[in-house]
Each structure stands twice: as structure tokens, then as C-alpha cells.
Structure 1
Amino acid sequence: MPQRTYTCGLDAAIAVMGGKWKGLILFSLGEGPLRFGELKRAVAGISERILILQLREMETSGLIHREVYHQVPPKVEYSLTDFGASLNTALAPLGEWGEEHMDRIVALP
């Protein structure tokens, strides 16, 4: 498999967290580990199928950790890795910018 090349750091970061949902999932997990149902409620509007796909991609890229507890009923928790927490920290200023300019963004055609 050929190695990916990026034009800059922003290009690399967007490749890891690209898409509408990953940032919201990272933000939700920033408070601590969550189970699947809790994540689905925390990320309003995401379908179960898309959440599953995004969680798999994020686990593969090392952003989140999936902990399976072997008990009845089965229990699975998702949490941020150090790598994911560092990306979450980097995204915080972007979220603050969005909050600050929300009215203007909503008014865009």
C-alpha cells in the first residue's frame, strides 16, 4: 500500500478527522468514556449505521479506544486515546470560533 503524502499539517489533520461526525464524537468523548447508546444520544442527528462506521474508522486511526467488558449483558465503552485527546484539544479553538460567529454562519445563504 502506498504511503500517503500531505501538503501540510492541516491536510494531515483533516485526513484523520475529516467528515461531519468525527469532530462531534471527539467532543462528546472529551468528557469521559461513553457507551454506544450514550454516544448516539450525545451526537444529535447521527444514524446508528454512520456512528458504527465512524467509530470503527476512529478506532483504526487510533483516536479512540474500544473497551469490551465480557459480562451479561455485554458492555462496550468508547474513550479518547492520548492521540484523540490531543486532536480534541487542537479543535477547541475552532469550536470557540464557531460559537463566536454562530449568528453570522447561520445567516449565510
Structure 2
Amino acid sequence: MKTAFRSCAVFLGVAMIAGCTLTEGQFNNMQATIGGSPAAKRQAISECMVRQKARPLSEKKNDSVMLNIGLSNFPATYCTRLWNATAAGRITYADYLKLSQPTADSSKVIRIMQGR
């Protein structure tokens, strides 16, 4: 189970950053895992923070402004909001797919990531 979750969590995080796509089944399995396991969600947040800290400073600055997050708190706040919203079902598979489409309406996810 740990290996399956780790694969889903890492894949989602990388996919959201790199523009890769999970299948609906993979997304739903990951969502059920982190929604039902606080330890799995903590692990996902922790791994997300490592990835966010490694991103180029210019990207983090742009995202922190757009999401209304202080730069020093960006990795923790971004990852916590992302994974809590995903676990709670506030970010759906359809929302996730829109993130890889530059012309799609992603305003719902932006509002969620802004803490609204």
C-alpha cells in the first residue's frame, strides 16, 4: 500500500508541475488514499514541499503572487492547500485536467489555492 500511495502521490505532484496526466482511476485512487489516511496526506505534503523548494525562484515568486502566499511560506502553504483540497474532493479530476490546458478555466482551483 505504501508503495502504491507513494507512486500516486509522487506522480500527481510531478504531473501537476510537469503537465503529465493521470488517468481518472489513478487520480481517484490517490484521492481516496490521502482522504482516508492522515499519514499518507502528511507524506504527500512533505514530498510536495521538497519539490516546491527545488523549483526556480522566479517561478515560486510568480506563483506566490498569484496565489497570495508569502514567498517564505510558499512551499508549505501551497502544498497544504493543494493536498487538503484534493483529499476533501474540492479539487476534482476534471479540475486537475484543466490545469494542463492553458486556455481552460482554472479559476476554481486558483480560488482554492488562494485559500478561499
TM-score between both structures, scaled by the size of structure 1:
0.28
Which structure's CA Rg is the greater one?
Answer: 1
Higher strand fraction: Structure 1 or Structure 2?
A: 1
Select the structure that is richer in helix.
2
Report 1 or 2 for greater relative contact order, CA contacts < 8 Å, sequence distance ≥ 6: 2
Alignment TM-score, normalising by the size of structure 2: 0.27
